[in-house]
Structure 1
Amino acid sequence: MLQNQYFYFFLVLALLLFATPNARAAFTIDDEKKMGREIYEKLDQGNFLSRDQKLNAYVSEIGNRILAHSNKASFPYTFTVFNSSGINAFATPGGYVYINKGLITVVENEAQLAGVMAHEIAHANSRHVASIIEKSKKLNIAMLAGIIAGALLGGGGDASAALAMFSVAGAQTMSLKYQREHEEEADRLGISYLAHSGYYPAAMVEFLKIMKQYEFLSKTIPSYFLTHPGTDDRIFYLESLLQTEYRRSGGSANIVGNIVRMQALITPDAGDLNKRRGQLTEALAKDPQNVDLLYALAIANDQLGRTNEALENLKKALALAPRDEDVLKSAGLLYLKTGNAELARFYLLKAATINPENDQTTLALGKAYFAEGDYANALNYFLKLKNQTLEGEDINYHIAMSYGRLNQMADFHYYFGLYLKKENKTQSALFHFRKAQEYTTEGTPRAAAIAAAIDELSADKRKKPDPKPPARQPAS
């Protein structure tokens, strides 16, 4: 079902973008920037993009490292983790590169992830999507929409079946040949970017072989193959480059950070989670002093509800690395979840001294202070986040509750009104904004903001149609 949502989202987007009088004109750099930005904004609005700061910072650092050793295109780049378990990555026009969570979980090291990203950067630098659009005279709008949607989607069986509806023999042959030409160029440039960035170039081939093995074991086609065709040819071509151009190239498997940490931040499906726990336990038995493995196992145990085991893993990790921010933060979050606010605060404050800018730590500290009854300190931490967008949280709620406990009713009603407004609870939001108005001095910026919110909600309420009257009962 989710893959179908992805497909239809991109299909509609493609039709909107291309079903215009200028669809057949040259596709300029400015056009690329505009399209890429619009796609990014739509994805962001639809919560398709991960808001995990650490994950996004990680892929951005890898991407920017590769960019520094590439022939940059004429636009800035944005690297983002895509909320999908599908094993895929894709680049849209204008320098937007997306890496699926599912792909991050299957790579064996950072170099393999960097290889995928180098390949996508090469697609973007070479303006391959722009080339498809400019050649659209040979395709009708429906076929073009199918190709573009497929390039962006990377879906599974349902999506690929849907894409097939848009193919006829001639168009399909042309588009596949065209895509394979793109793949060869992206591989040739990508492996160069990878090697010059300090990674070992064979990682690019290793990833393709992992995908081939995945296909054999799972009996399903990885979505990466659907959007990146000609895998056997690609492996042969890349191996020939390794034997000639990169025969003496060395390089590192990990440069930016440890991929095990990043994989621990991604929650897999239940069956895969048990499998991951088993793999981590086995790896830890061979290397019991490995902090990264202890941390990853703690996360897996926590996700499986094995709280005590998770805490033991974290304690062992802290004994080995007492100033590890990730481990300190995770210990604090786990103690907060178990109701031990004092210990939660202890560990979270240590994490905050290392990185005071982490939103997750800041939010958790606010919650810990609130749980301890220290509402003033809780409020201070919550207010630091009032302009931030948090995944799964509305900071206005926490701010409102803190003001309420401090008996500051004007602020309580105002922030609770903001929370309810976002929840689309118009009647309740209006009630609290009007209560806030009673406590607020006229002529102040806050009074103006409250009045504007009331006007907006009142207008929305008037626009909503009255509920249908009950059906007339037949006379007895």
Structure 2
Amino acid sequence: MFKRFLLGGLLSSTVFLSSFAQAQTDFKLPDLGSSALEVLPIDKEKALGKVMMMQIRGGSPLVQDPVLDEYITSLGNKLVANANDVRFPFTFFLINNQAINAFAFYGGHVGIHTGLIAQSDNESQLASVIGHEIAHVTQRHLARRLQHQKDNSALTVAGIVTGILAAVIAPDAGMAILSASTTQAGISQLSHSRKAEQEADRFGMQTLYKAGFDPSQAGEFLSKLANQVRFQTKPPTFLLTHPLPDTRVSDVRLRAQQYSAKQIQESLKFKLAKSRIIARYQLDSKDAQALFENELKKSSELNKAYLHYGLAISLLDQKKIQQAEKLLYPLLKDDPNNLFYLDVYTDILIAKGEAKKAVEYLTHHNELRPNNQVLALNYANAAIKAKKYAKAEQTLKLFLLSEQNHLLAKELLTEVYKGSDNKSAYYEAKADVLAEYGAFLKAADEIQRALNHVKASETVKKTRLKALLKQYRQMQKEIAKL
């Protein structure tokens, strides 16, 4: 069952790593130096973004859910396709956090809290926030702020990473554990000026409209945040880094009026994603069951599929498998290619001990849409459970040809090799996972273990692994030159 996320916490004043990554890595983040901060070219911004993404993988509850990843990536790319000044591909990811928040950082990385989706009333509201974050990247607000930092003589990549993660992922813990100067430096780097916010509002709304969403919902979302501020002693996390003066809501509303009105059809995918998040990431499964049952009683909507879907997940997670299947089967019958339904149906079959049936069922869908992450990863997962390791390996290797850095696919591949008792491949796959955390020295150790299980006659494989060992050691040196 794909209910995975990487759990982590604040572990030191310089880096954030999960217990797993902390135990596996020795790499240090270097001091950029004041001269390096005077100019931040695109290639350096992308490199800095990669380092930060490594840290986020280890230091935050990063959601690894193919269905939600597919949805949020599709939505994000639709906005990017309609944005101005896009200089590189964007990466969208989810953090399991109930706070209403989203953030962007160097190199086109945009993080969205599950709480933002759960609290958005419609897809246009969600898109308005993501479009705003995309604008911060395309207009290089963080990069420009970094360049114009006056007192940066002691600012390091570690300080930037630590402070930013404290600000956007766990602000309470960050304030408690990190030194005030480090945290405030990070918040300063991520916080945007009113001018930057106005610019992001303007470009974000253009993107929103061009992508086919309702620009008026940007103002509705900000009004929602403003109302929360009135009744809370502590503002929503989003407002820690995105100032909301009194005039901003009215400015956004006035700007939206400049665009022609749009009748936007409700997005079933958004509603299904919201139900999935509520059932799996926001509420205990029993509380989620009660919520969806209550909503089904109250709702006058003709299409209640998203409520039945959420209820099915909450029942499945309580191991009420027959009840879950009874709810999901009609949904799948009416919409047999729906990825949300196919994913949960696979979970149901595996929970029933019918992994082989799940493999057979997904074969046709996987052939029709090869390399779709929901189908490929569910197919591989079902094949692993059915001990069909060759099928799982073939599927994952093919998928990784196009999605080279997909962490969940790499983790599943380690399960394949462990199950099939292929020790050299297992250690090599483990090294590949560790490299995604920037743990290049420990990755090199795993390659050394892999070499210990290579036969003397396998000269080509031995040569390749030795080259990979050298590469990981070199990567450790290169990251220190960032």
Range of TM-score over shorter length: 0.7 to 0.9
Matched to 1:367, the amino acid is: I
Structure 2: distance between partners of 1:334 and 1:57: 20
Residues 263, 134 of structure 1: alpha-carbon distance in 2 compared, 3 angstrom cutoff: same
Alignment partner, residue 94 of structure 2: 82
Query: 1:381-407: CA deviations, max 9, x gaps?
Result: 3333247442694424434534x6xxx
Structure 2 counterparts to residues 176-215 of structure 1, below 5 A? 179-214=193-228
Radius of gyration: which is bigger? 1
Structure 2 counterparts to residues 160-175 of structure 1, below 5 A? 160=175, 165-166=180-181
1:329/1:348 contact within 8 Å kept: no
1:136/1:144 contact within 8 Å kept: no
Aligned-residue identity in percent: 24
Residues 284, 62 of structure 1: alpha-carbon distance in 2 compared, 3 angstrom cutoff: same
**What is the DSSP-based 3-state SS (H/G/I as helix, E as strand, rest coil) of the residue aligned with 1:390?**
helix
Structure 2 counterparts to residues 438-457 of structure 1, below 5 A? 442=457, 444-446=459-461, 448=463
Q: CA deviation at 1:203?
A: 1.4
Query: 1:248-301: CA deviations, max 9, x gaps?
Result: 42252656x611222344465574554443343334343475333322321222
Q: CA deviation at 1:70?
A: 2.6
Residues 17, 116 of structure 1: alpha-carbon distance in 2 compared, 3 angstrom cutoff: farther
Match of 1:384 among 371, 374, 395: 395
Structure 1: distance between partners of 2:53 and 2:242: 21
Alignment partner, residue 345 of structure 2: 331
Alignment partner, residue 366 of structure 1: 383
Matched to 2:88, the amino acid is: P
2:162/2:186 contact within 8 Å kept: no
Q: CA deviation at 1:71?
A: 1.9
Q: Are 2:172 and 1:157 equivalent residues in the alignment? A: yes
Query: 1:66-125: CA deviations, max 9, x gaps?
Result: 23333224x213132132304321121233222223322222221111100111111112
**What is the DSSP-based 3-state SS (H/G/I as helix, E as strand, rest coil) of the residue aligned with 1:384?**
helix
Alignment partner, residue 317 of structure 2: 303
RMSD of the alignment, in Å?
A: 4.5
1:366/1:380 contact within 8 Å kept: yes
2:164/2:189 contact within 8 Å kept: no
Residues 199, 420 of structure 1: alpha-carbon distance in 2 compared, 3 angstrom cutoff: closer
Match of 2:329 among 315, 323, 332: 315
Aligned residues: 431
Structure 2: distance between partners of 1:69 and 1:428: 43
Structure 2: distance between partners of 1:17 and 1:419: 28
**What is the DSSP-based 3-state SS (H/G/I as helix, E as strand, rest coil) of the residue aligned with 2:92?**
strand
The higher-RCO structure (CA 8 Å, 6+ apart) is 2
Structure 2 counterparts to residues 1-400 of structure 1, below 5 A? 4-5=10-11, 8-9=14-15, 19-44=32-57, 49-73=62-86, 75-85=87-97, 86-137=99-150, 141=154, 153-154=167-168, 155-160=170-175, 165-166=180-181, 179-214=193-228, 220-230=234-244, 232-243=246-257, 245-246=258-259, 248-252=260-264, 254=266, 258-266=269-277, 268=280, 271=283, 273-285=285-297, 286=299, 287=301, 289-357=303-371, 358-367=375-384, 369-370=386-387, 375=388, 378-386=389-397, 388=400, 389-390=407-408, 393-399=411-417
Structure 1: distance between partners of 2:450 and 2:178: 49
Query: 1:113-138: CA deviations, max 9, x gaps?
Result: 11001111111122111221222125
Structure 1: distance between partners of 2:12 and 2:101: 13
Matched to 1:281, the amino acid is: E
Structure 2: distance between partners of 1:181 and 1:219: 26
Structure 1: distance between partners of 2:445 and 2:183: 53
Matched to 1:83, the amino acid is: I
1:417/1:432 contact within 8 Å kept: yes
Structure 1: distance between partners of 2:35 and 2:337: 57
Q: What 5-or-longer segments of structure 2 have no aligned partner?
A: 1-6, 18-27, 401-406, 435-441, 472-482
Query: Normalising to structure 2: TM-score of the pair?
Result: 0.72
Greater displacement, 428-437 / 331-340: 428-437
Q: CA deviation at 1:325?
A: 3.9
Residues 196, 453 of structure 1: alpha-carbon distance in 2 compared, 3 angstrom cutoff: closer
